Each structure stands twice: as C-alpha cells, then as structure tokens.
Copies of this chain bind each other. A is one copy, B any other.
Amino acid sequence: MHTNIQQISGGITTPKGFLAAGIRCGLKTSGNDLAIIYSQEPSIAAAVFTANKFQAAPISISKQHLASASTIQAIVVNSGCANCATGEQGMLDAQRMTEIAAAGLNISSDSVLVASTGKIGTFLHMDRIEAGINNALSVLNRDGGLSTAEAIMTTDTKPKQVAVEIMMQGKPVLIGGIAKGAGMIAPNMATMLAFLTTDAVLPKELLASMLQEAVNISFNSITIDGDTSTNDMSAILANGASGVVPDESDLSIFQAGLNLVCLELAAMIVRDAEGATKLLRIHIKNAPSQDTGRKIGLSIANSTLVKCALFGADPNWGRIMAAIGNAGVEIDLKDIDVYIDKLSLVKNSRAGVFDQSLAHQLLSANEVELIVDLKQGTQEAVVLGCDLTTEYVSFNAHYST
C-alpha cells in the first residue's frame, strides 16, 4: 500500500465537518431504517447510479438534484422499502423526502440526495418517513457513522464502514465510507448502496472521474448473482473542510485512498453475501486492457457452474475456460494459464496434470485466489465473486411470500 495512506477505524463521519444519524422509524420489522448524512458546509458531490434501465424513484430524483445543484449538503436514505415500481406517487414521495430534510436543515431541497433500499413495488409510509427524518435531524452528530451504516442494512448481517487517512502536502485528509450489501443483490430487496465522504478540496469534475474509477475497480468488479438492482447508487461528498488543496501529485494519493475505501467496502459486501460460504478473488493478468480483464473476470464470477464448483471445492477448470470463452471479448484463447494460488490447473489453454487433493484443499478455504494469465497485454483486473450454495437457492426461493 501507498506509504501516505493509512486505514483507520471510522466511517462517514470521520472526515471533518460531517454529521450523521441512523434511527428507527418503523419501515423494517426491526433495527435502524432511516439515516441522514449531513455536511456542515455545502459539498462538491458526485455519484454513480445503477445501469439497470428500470430505475427506482429516488434514483431519478437524486440524478435531477445532482444535475441542477452546484453543491450537495445532505443525503437522506431509508431501508425497508425501495420506492421502486411506484410510478408518479413514488416520484412525489422521493422528492418529499428531500424537502422534509431540507426544511429541517434550512437548505434547498435541490442540495439533498435521496436513496431507498428494500422491497420493490410497495409505497413508502410517508408519515413514518417524515417523523423519522425529523427525529434523525434532531440527533445528527459526529459519531453517527455506525448508526447510519446500520440504518441502510437490509439482508446484510453486519454494518460496513471504512475510513482512511491520507497525507497530502504533509497534512492529513480523511476519506470515509459505508455500504450495504448486495447481500444477494436481492430481488425485491433491491440494492447496493455506498456513501462516501471526504474533507479534501476537490472540483466537481475531478471528483466525479475519481469516483467512477474507484467504483469500476470495486463495486463494479464484484458480483453475487449477476443481477443489477434497480436502486444501486454510490455517492461521494467532498466538503473541503481539511483545507488541503491537492496538487497534481497528490491526486494519485487521493485516488489510491478512495480506491482503498471502496475496495474494502466491496470485499465486505461479498463476504456478507447471502448464503455464500466463500469469497473468490479473480486476478486477470496480462490483459490487453483493464476493461477486457474485468469482463473476463465477471464472466467467470457470474458462471453458475463455476460458482457451484467453488461451493463443492471442485477444481473444474473446464468451466473456467468455458466462462472465459463466453466473456464476449476479442482475445486469443490459445495460450491461457489458470492457477489456484500457485497451483497450475491449465497451461497454454490445455489440461495440466495437477494434484487434485491439493486443489480441493485450496478451494476449501474461506477465500480462494484464482489467477488467469492471458499473456496478451500488460493490464490487469481483479474481480470478487462468491460461491452459489444450496442455502442461497433455498433462501431466494421463499423470500417474498
């Protein structure tokens, strides 16, 4: 890791000038289910939204606000209801959430982002939401990061938060983040959400491109079941409270710090995947481009058959080769090597003779390292996936009813 970057305990309220609170307003059967993240000063903001064309109301409203307002000062988020497939009423409700928060904070509703996660096709209990927002506003504080991480959970089994301190020009700058699971990138339980804060001074366009890069290598490089939810959203607020204006050389440090926060959160999401027993870390090496590498990694990680083999700790390399061939990228398939850790399974795209019991043992670990050497370039990509288990199927077969 970069010597100027240090992971520290904390989350979204670790950077200077951010307050937050997660509280319970009664949308879920138990636990916190509504939160507000607030910056004391107007923040530069950027966000990445789901690629699913069927998008929830809060996604539309947040996009509008991000486009119309020059700064963002708060994010209001609820779990327990995705406010998706809710038509005009859903749009009005999402907009109303930003208005209630804005009124309490005495800011413009345009400077509030909104996110929801939970069941698709049900309407928000706006009375509970309104009371909840006002309640959360009354308890906003500098230690509210963890309660906020809890309030965005759905099928997650634990809250997910990360903070790093980076040194720029000899001064500390902080980045914090929380995320909620693609537990199973569930169904009616839409969503991967990630909220990031920093006290760095950064212009909007730069912040947006740095967020996009961090998201590409983290949240866009993990897969639980290949389904992209209707409510996915990653947003970052940069309030400049550190007073540190990065120069050219600091930017790569900031990017590395942001990448670290997102990568750690992404790994937490995969480790907490519903019904999964193992994390699969796929390194695609010597690829013609990072994008090609990522597509190949995702094709492997999304292959039902590869995931089943991982569950059974079965070194079924034929499934891996078939998944590479199905990645939809133009590459030469004649000289590919595949390893689990240091054990060679495939050499030059042909069956290797390997120790089956050692392979089985390596595949039985909690975290499995799969290396695919394409030998046709200098780029690389890392993709995280998990196994497909009988428990996952049972859980998802009997969810909504």
Taking a contact as CB atoms under 8 Å apart, the answer to whether A322 and B393 are in contact is no
**Copies of this protein, total:** 2
Checking B55, B227, B324 against A305 with a beta-carbon cut-off of 8 angstroms, the contacting residue is B227
Q: Does A85 contact B (CB under 8 A)?
A: yes
Q: Does A350 contact B (CB under 8 A)?
A: yes
- A36 — which chain B residues lie within 8 A by C-beta? none
Taking a contact as CB atoms under 8 Å apart, the answer to whether A396 and B305 are in contact is yes
Q: Tell me the chain A residues, 9-51 only, with Cβ under 8 Å from chain B.
A: 51
Q: Tell me the chain A residues, 97-144 only, with Cβ under 8 Å from chain B.
A: 119-122
A228-B326, A308-B396 are known contacts; what are 7 more A-B pairs with Cβ within 8 Å? A85-B321, A187-B319, A308-B395, A308-B397, A312-B399, A360-B401, A392-B393
Interface string of A33-74 (1 = CB under 8 A from B): 000000000000000000111110000000000000000000
Taking a contact as CB atoms under 8 Å apart, the answer to whether B388 and A87 are in contact is no
Q: Does A356 contact B (CB under 8 A)?
A: yes
Checking B122, B227, B304 against A225 with a beta-carbon cut-off of 8 angstroms, the contacting residue is B304
Number of interface residues of A (CB under 8 A): 68
Q: Does A217 contact B (CB under 8 A)?
A: no
Q: Does A241 contact B (CB under 8 A)?
A: no
Q: Does A394 contact B (CB under 8 A)?
A: yes
A333 to B59, CA, bound (A): 15
Q: Tell me the chain A residues, 362-401 only, with Cβ under 8 Å from chain B.
A: 388-390, 392-401
Nearest-Cβ distance from residue A298 to partner chain B, whole angstroms: 13
Q: Is the interface of A mostly helix, strand, loop or mixed?
A: loop
- A55 — which chain B residues lie within 8 A by C-beta? 325
Offer 14 A-B interface pairs, CB within 8 angstroms, sorted by A. Answer: A85-B350, A86-B351, A227-B303, A227-B304, A227-B319, A304-B388, A308-B399, A311-B397, A314-B398, A314-B399, A314-B400, A360-B401, A389-B393, A392-B393
Taking a contact as CB atoms under 8 Å apart, the answer to whether A393 and B393 are in contact is yes
Q: Does A339 contact B (CB under 8 A)?
A: no
Nearest-Cβ distance from residue A42 to partner chain B, whole angstroms: 33
A49 to B24, CA, bound (A): 57
Q: Does A349 contact B (CB under 8 A)?
A: yes
Taking a contact as CB atoms under 8 Å apart, the answer to whether A394 and B399 are in contact is no
Taking a contact as CB atoms under 8 Å apart, the answer to whether A54 and B230 are in contact is no
A398 to B349, CA, bound (A): 23
